[in-house]
A and B are shown apart, each in its own frame.
Chain A
Amino acid sequence: MVLTRINNKKLAREFGGKSGKRVIVLAGNPNVGKSVIFNALTNRYVEVSNFPGTTVEISQSALGEDLLLDTPGIYGVSSFNDEERVARDVILQADIIINIVNAMHLERDLFLTQQLIDMGIPLVVALNMVDEAQQNGIEIDHRVLAEELGVPVIPTVAVRGEGLEEVKAALAGASRGKRVSQVDALLAPLLAYFPSAREALLYLEEDPSVEIPPQMPEGAAGKQEEIYLLRRNRVNEIVKAVVKESSAGTGFAVRLGQMMLRTSTGLPLLILSLIGMYYFIGVFIAQVVVDFTEEVVMEGYYVPLVERLIERIFTPGSLMAYILAGEYGLLTMTMVYLLGLLMPLVAGFYFSLSLMEDSGYLPRVATLMDRLLVKMGLNGRAVIPIILGLGCVTMATITTRLLGSQRERIIATALLGIAIPCSAQLGVIFGMVAPLGPLYLVIYLATVGAVFVGLGLVMEKVLPGRSTDLLIDLPLLRLPRPGNILRKTYMRTVHFLKEAAPLFAVGALLISFMELSGILYRIQALARPLVQDWLGLPSEAATAFIMGIVRRDFGAAGLYALPLAPGQTLVALVAITLFVPCIASVLVILKERGAKDGLLIWTGSFVTAFLVGGLLARVML
């Protein structure tokens, strides 16, 4: 279930208010093992991301008589981004919160804990990863912690299931805890004006979500920083009282973490990781797995079966037969593309991303790439949509939601729509460039790379406003748990299919309609002179460009059949890379960025493709 901006009243109606059914909410910082705990408590897995972002998904499940809701990982209850807004709205509806705290990062995590206590919500703390903390020489006295906070604290090792039964049992003793005394004093006079302490506190902390009551005396709000500082001081006191450190802890993880950031070692490590990713996705998945899923399973068994079925039900040559099983059939081409080709590639990208996320490498890559991305009007966090874009532009465009400002979302979407070739296309492109020799490969990469960077530089100059700065938590590196990575990959791939399948279906329908009405043919005729005279390609190449709108790999594959000189191949591939993204991407761009920006990006990709392709043709041909 996906709830982006949640309507509080609707949520209350749906989840709360039902007789005897309590709403129990899991809350915690990113990277604390929330997914594992949710799963263990309900035997159902939930999508979560350690890196703050990727998708805003809320999962729900039954916990005995009660309802268990998950929230995205957050550092505090406020409104700095979509995840925080969603988490805040769910937390406001909670009857009880299970707050998961990472024993390795107590100073960071207890800020949220104390904030939840200040909100006056009954709480149980699961002190997770106590085993790792111990190995790193961090001893936490959980009894003293429970006393200081005034709520039950249960030590857990979620991945081994330790302590989870105790957490369930502790729900009965969930307690409101001890509010920071000075915060309590600030809050007391306001309580009469609000339905609950949680709204009153968020009002004091300047949260824009809280409606100001009409009788409210002015000047009471505006205390966010003051309260945050009081809370921070209190948390530091608590940490001092409960943590005993025996030694400096693991040298290796810390040293490796530093090596990942230092330019002399960080860049080689990054390149090594990218090469590893290339072999995993570009060689193993794109060649071995896709050959099997696309050619053997989908085209060998599935398509003939569907075609035979359709022939029985609909008259061959009828409109329905064409729409379902024709050239761009919903049940044939769309399914082969989505399940046979894109799904394995996208799963491969999600697997790599989850691995980088769970190990703690991803925020370090973001840090390493920040200096380049800042010049392009983005910050380091934009590596996520960019990496995912190489998998599927449609899915990557959705993840631009995690970026900090509208300006960054526009820049990232434009870069994705114009200069990032997706995995479907990359396979065909490398297959065509490689035989031409390394020089052509270098020219191809340099041209597309230059357009990518150049486009970013221009947008940073031209677009009004300023992008947000990087401020990112670098968690300690750790060995990722294979089970967790696989579950995450599975959940995300399913999510991708759910989000993308309707778009690909609508796209196929549109193309079928354009083909039947003759529009497709007319566009090809219009494009012919541009392709022939300006790009110096055979006029049939126009068809390949139009096919690229249907499926990006079709576009590139359409060039295979043409007799092209090496220079022409290069020009054609560069132009088709930069040319408009597939129709599903266009739809998602329109949906995410609105009609105006969407059309601007679409036009931009058209102009860029022919401008750069034409200039390259002048040099190469």
Chain B
Amino acid sequence: MTLEQAKTGEKLIIKNIEDPQMRVKAIRFGVTEGTEITCTEKLPYGPVVIRRGHQELAIGRGLARRITVEPA
């Protein structure tokens, strides 16, 4: 499944981030392939908000569609 299909409150493991540049930027924020994250918010038709520890990130819908996750 992709991050776009995540539900609010769901715990997930990042499997793959398609875009190489975004992958590298996400590593800087502590989100790598294999990281466990929580989906804390999903704006209707808008960004998906994820949290890892104290780090919260908003991810645009288009990018969320290109991130593969699986339930933790």
The residues of A with any CB-CB pair to B shorter than 8 Å are 75-76, 78, 80, 104-105, 107-108, 111-112, 138, 224-225, 228-229, 232, 235-236, 257-258, 261-263, 266, 363-364, 366-368, 370-371, 374, 379-380, 469-476
Contacts and interface: CB of A to CB of B under 8 A. Distances in A.
A371 B45 contact: yes
B44 to A, nearest CB: 6
A348 to B, nearest CB: 28
B49 interface: yes
A263 B43 contact: yes
Interface of B: 19-30, 32, 40-41, 43-47, 49, 52-63
A75 B57 CA distance: 13
Contact of A474 (B23, B46, B57): B57
B58 A371 contact: no
B54 A371 contact: no
Given A75-B28, A232-B27, A232-B32, A469 B55 contact: no
Given A368-B46, A374-B62, A474-B57, A111 B22 contact: no
A566 to B, nearest CB: 38
A113 to B, nearest CB: 12
Nearest to B41: A261
20 contacts: A104-B54, A107-B53, A108-B30, A225-B23, A228-B27, A235-B30, A266-B43, A367-B43, A367-B47, A367-B49, A370-B46, A380-B47, A380-B60, A469-B60, A470-B47, A470-B59, A470-B63, A471-B25, A471-B60, A474-B57
A506 B11 CA distance: 58
Contact of A367 (B23, B29, B46, B63): B46
Main secondary structure of the interface of A (DSSP, over half): helix
B49 A261 contact: yes
Nearest to A74: B28
Given A108-B29, A263-B43, A469 B58 contact: no
Main secondary structure of the interface of B (DSSP, over half): mixed
Given A370-B60, A370-B61, A476-B54, 18 more contacts: A76-B28, A105-B55, A108-B30, A108-B55, A111-B28, A224-B24, A258-B40, A367-B47, A368-B43, A370-B43, A370-B58, A374-B60, A469-B59, A469-B63, A470-B59, A474-B49, A474-B58, A475-B56
B45 A471 contact: no
Nearest to A231: B27
B40 to A, nearest CB: 7
A88 to B, nearest CB: 14
A225 B24 contact: yes
Nearest to B23: A225
A470 B60 contact: yes
B27 A225 contact: yes
Nearest to A138: B54
Contact of A380 (B19, B21, B58): B58
Residue of A235, A263, A380, A469 with highest tally of chain B CB at under 10 A:
A469
A494 B34 CA distance: 47
B44 A263 contact: yes
B29 A473 contact: yes
A12 B30 CA distance: 34
A472 B58 contact: yes
Contacts of B49: 261, 367, 474
A105 B51 CA distance: 13
